Amino acid sequence: MLIMHEWALAEAVLESVKRHLNEQEQGKSLQVKSVNLLFGELQEIDEEIFRSGLNTMLADYPFNEDVIHIETDPALFGCNVCKREWTLKDQEDLSEDEREAIHFLPEAAHVFIRCPGCGSPDFRVIKGRGVSIGSIILEEV
């Protein structure tokens, strides 16, 4: 099941890059120079499985894996009560089971995490969710 998740994400990224390339070409000959991806820390995407999916599917796309760069987008939380901000690293008491629950359903963070300042479960996830394309750089050939 986990493999299918990473592979589905890889396919979605590839399709998004291909669509962007096609939209920008309009009579020009362009190639993909760089794709910068952000993997939200809360998602815990397995990069090795994700890249395996990319490599399997890339034969159908006009670019190769070398242009794809991945960074982790650290989770950042903000308390709605005391306004404190903190990171997932500040939540040292989370068990592996709790981290896994948050991975599969990031909204579950509200069950397991409390503001380290005031103890409130009323917080927002400011960043560190999902998979996003930070940038796509194209160049003329």
**What domains lie within the chain, and their CATH numbers?**
1-141 (3.30.2320.80)
Query: Is the model's pTM score more than 0.75?
Result: yes
At a CB cut-off of 8 Å and minimum separation 6, what does 17 contact? 32, 35, 61, 63, 133, 136
Residue 13 CB neighbour total at 10 angstroms: 21
- In this structure, are residues 94 and 44 in contact, taking their beta carbons and an 8 Å threshold? no
The predicted-structure confidence for 27-47, as pLDDT tens digits, reads as follows 899 999 999 999 999 888 889
The predicted-structure confidence for 69-118, as pLDDT tens digits, reads as follows 999 999 999 999 999 999 988 888 889 899 888 877 878 888 999 999 99
